[in-house]
Amino acid sequence: MAEGIELLELYSELAAELNESSFLREIREGRSTTFQLLGGPFRAVREGGPSAEAMKAFLLTFRLFDQDRDGLSFKKMRELYGKLPVSQDLVNETELICQYVDRYLEGPSPFVIAGESIERRKLLRVWMYGKLAHVNADKREILEQWKVDRDVEPLFQYEFESILIPITQAIFWMRQVNMRAIKQLKARKQVAAPADA
């Protein structure tokens, strides 16, 4: 139980760090994004929106919630809540969050490339691990196949950022569930302590 509490507390701490990020602050301040679409040859020029530095700093923490190895992903939270001695309401709410995230990421992005409708999960992972947070060879190869050059890159970047927002909201939702779970687990631990003494 102590290990579970520790993981939930780490999740909450990192989610709070995301919430205080300059990337989200810039979005909340209403830094709107506009595009100039230029012809001959076609080129998208982005104006406004959060800074590249703020977004890259945000990703250092955000990716921890995407990778299973750190135990903080939605998949790992679902598994953890299946083992923790917490109320069924919290288990059900965790499942609801995970289903929401899965449905959202399985949905299509606006991009259809060579006849393939690119789902949000694929765009998120390819862009994050092939372009920004890592330089994964497999993901970079997919970017090359998609022919994402400097002329259309701003459109992909904008869509990537748009996908981050609902997932981040789900992370905050999960944080609220975790806070209630921590309270339950600590109360349970205190009740069990006198019996162990």
- Between CA 134 and CA 161 the distance in angstroms is 16
Domain count within the chain: 1
Position 196 scores a pLDDT of 53
Residue the block writes with tokens 């080129």: 43
Going from the first residue of the chain to its last (197 residues), give the mean pLDDT of each consecutive group of 10, the final group possibly shorter: 91 96 87 75 79 90 93 96 96 98 97 94 94 83 87 88 95 98 91 60
CA-derived radius of gyration, the chain: 20
132 with 62: CB under 8 angstroms? no
Count other C-beta atoms under 10 Å from residue 32's C-beta: 9
Burial of 147 (0-12, 13-18, 19+ CB in 10 A): exposed
Report how far residue 107's alpha carbon sits from residue 166's, in angstroms, rounded to the nearest whole number: 13
pLDDT of residue 195: 52
Structural domain for 6, as ranges: 2-196
Report the pLDDT value the prediction gives residue 90, as an integer from 0 to 100: 97
Q: Is the peptide bond before 166 cis (omega within 30 degrees of 0)?
A: no
How many CA atoms lie within 13 Å of 175's alpha carbon, on the beta-carbon side?
A: 17
